[in-house]
Amino acid sequence: MNNELIIFIIAFIVLVYGFFSKYLEKLNISGPMIFLLFGIILSPLGFNLIEIPLNSEAVKIVAEIALIIVLFTDSSSLSLKEFKFEWRISARLLFVGLPITIIFSTYIATLFFPQEPFLYLILTALILAPTDAALGKAVVTDKLVPKKIRASINVESGLNDGIVFPLLITVLLLIMSHQELGNDNSWITYLFKQISLGFIVGAFMGYLGAKTLSTSVQRSWVKDVYKNLSPVALAILVYYTAEYLGGNGFIAAFVSGAFFGNFSNLVDSTRENFLESEGEVLILISFLVFGLSFIPATIEFWNLKIVIYSILSLTLFRMIPVALSLIGLGLSFKSKLFIGWFGPRGIASILYVMTVAHKIEMVKVSNTLFSVITLTILMSIILHGLSAKPLVNLYAKSFKI
């Protein structure tokens, strides 16, 4: 299929969804659900109009740019003021609940899939660890939900992908170099360089970009349209600068977003106008690619064991660590259950698995684990999207904090 027709189809889907997006939202049908569905319909599972291999350059480019935008956007949209509002819940979820989830998921995976290499089991747990509040948008936007619950879920989903990513690249390095811990320490030096330079470049350029843009706006040097374009350009520039200097571009993008968001006096008043509109289309295209590539490539390997593990990943692997991490904070059982359920696996997991697929062709190594990741994300997109508004209404009627 030629590239022109692919672009035409993508533009058509974006246009049609845009016409009915608000109406579909009232029906609890989200953008990711629509683009995922179109991806499946256009794939070999449907009309077989488009076929994109998992390790294709198209998947790499979409994953790379979208991940840059997502990491920058997530960190830039979270202010220190919001974290301070109810920092205890967010901190417990990020630094207690998240590690328990990763450890718990990995351990149970060794019981379900004992034939798989241990590093791949860890990698699977890391890919499925980040949450995506956008899949249950009503949870973080509906004022029926108490502010501290909304803020905590939003902060968690905004920061956990940045926390997980250094661990992800560590495991990737070990797999790609075929090394075992302790045999050769060269990977540690490389990893330290990746993380440290990524952080330094991101912090410097994020702070400089924030201050420069703020000054330009205050002095009326910049047109309104470039207020939105400048952060996009900054995110991409930071990524490639860090990569050129030997750092990790994704870490740099995340750190620069955090500095940009907290040192620019423009973000508080115009936060939603910065990167969300520009990144939305690219993110939705990522869901389309997921439906086009990942589901057709893995569906034949889905079995009862994979289905059960995927269900557990969305429920007990998330809910138990959340409940344990929130002990002593005075939250009701219903509040803990609500927070525990709304840990959707969405864009971060998709982009992580796209990156992994291109770097190590994991599907050739483990069809089983690749299928687990794909099915878990698919179920999350559907279940969390459909349940968000109904459960918000139910929770609002009965919560007691």
Mean pLDDT of 213-224: 82
End-to-end CA distance of the chain: 55
Per-residue confidence (pLDDT) for residue 245, from 0 to 100: 94
Amino acid at 305: K
Q: Quick one: CA torsion of 114, 118, 120, 123, rounded to 10 degrees?
A: 120
Mean pLDDT of 276-296: 83
Mean pLDDT of 349-373: 81
Average pLDDT across the chain, whole number? 85
Per-residue confidence (pLDDT) for residue 200, from 0 to 100: 96
- Measure the CA–CA gap between 259 and 256, rounded to whole angstroms: 5
pLDDT at residue 361 above 80? no
Percent of the chain with pLDDT over 90: 43
**Which of 10-19, 54-63, 77-86, 222-231 has the highest average model confidence (pLDDT)?**
10-19
Q: How many CB atoms lie within 10 A of CB 229?
A: 14
Per-residue confidence (pLDDT) for residue 261, from 0 to 100: 84
What CATH architecture is 3-398? Up-down Bundle (1.20)
pLDDT level of residue 271 (50, 70, 90 thresholds)? very low
pLDDT at residue 233 above 60? yes
Q: How far is CA 336 from CA 87, 130, 158, 340, in A?
A: 16, 18, 19, 6
Using CA of residue 78, residue 82, residue 86, residue 88, what is the dihedral sign? positive
pLDDT digits 0-9 by tens, 382-399: 999 999 989 998 888 875
Instruction: List the chain domain ranges.
Output: 3-398
Mean pLDDT of 9-32: 87
Per-residue confidence (pLDDT) for residue 246, from 0 to 100: 92
pLDDT digits 0-9 by tens, 29-81: 888 999 999 999 999 999 888 888 777 777 778 888 888 988 888 888 776 66
The whole model's pTM is what? 0.88
pLDDT at residue 96 above 90? yes
- How buried is 398 (Cβ within 10 angstroms: 0-12 exposed, 13-18 middle, 19+ buried)? exposed
Per-residue confidence (pLDDT) for residue 185, from 0 to 100: 66
- Decide if 124 contacts 373 (C-beta within 8 A): yes
The answer to which of 24-38, 161-175, 328-342, 360-374 has the lowest mean pLDDT is: 360-374
Per-residue confidence (pLDDT) for residue 311, from 0 to 100: 97
The set of residues, in sequence order, having a beta carbon less than 8 Å from that of 384 and lying 6+ positions away, is 135, 136, 341, 342, 344
pLDDT digits 0-9 by tens, 133-155: 878 777 888 888 888 888 888 88
- Decide if 268 contacts 260 (C-beta within 8 A): no
Amino acid at 107: Y
Per-residue confidence (pLDDT) for residue 1, from 0 to 100: 52
Per-residue confidence (pLDDT) for residue 79, from 0 to 100: 62
Q: Which residue has the higher pLDDT, 229 or 323?
A: 323
Q: How far is CA 121 from CA 45, 171, 285, 300, 308, in A?
A: 28, 10, 28, 20, 16
Q: Which residue has the higher pLDDT, 111 or 73?
A: 111
pLDDT at residue 268 above 50? no
Per-residue confidence (pLDDT) for residue 178, from 0 to 100: 65
Per-residue confidence (pLDDT) for residue 182, from 0 to 100: 46
- Measure the CA–CA gap between 161 and 155, rounded to whole angstroms: 11
Percent of the chain with pLDDT over 70: 89
- Measure the CA–CA gap between 334 and 339, rounded to whole angstroms: 9
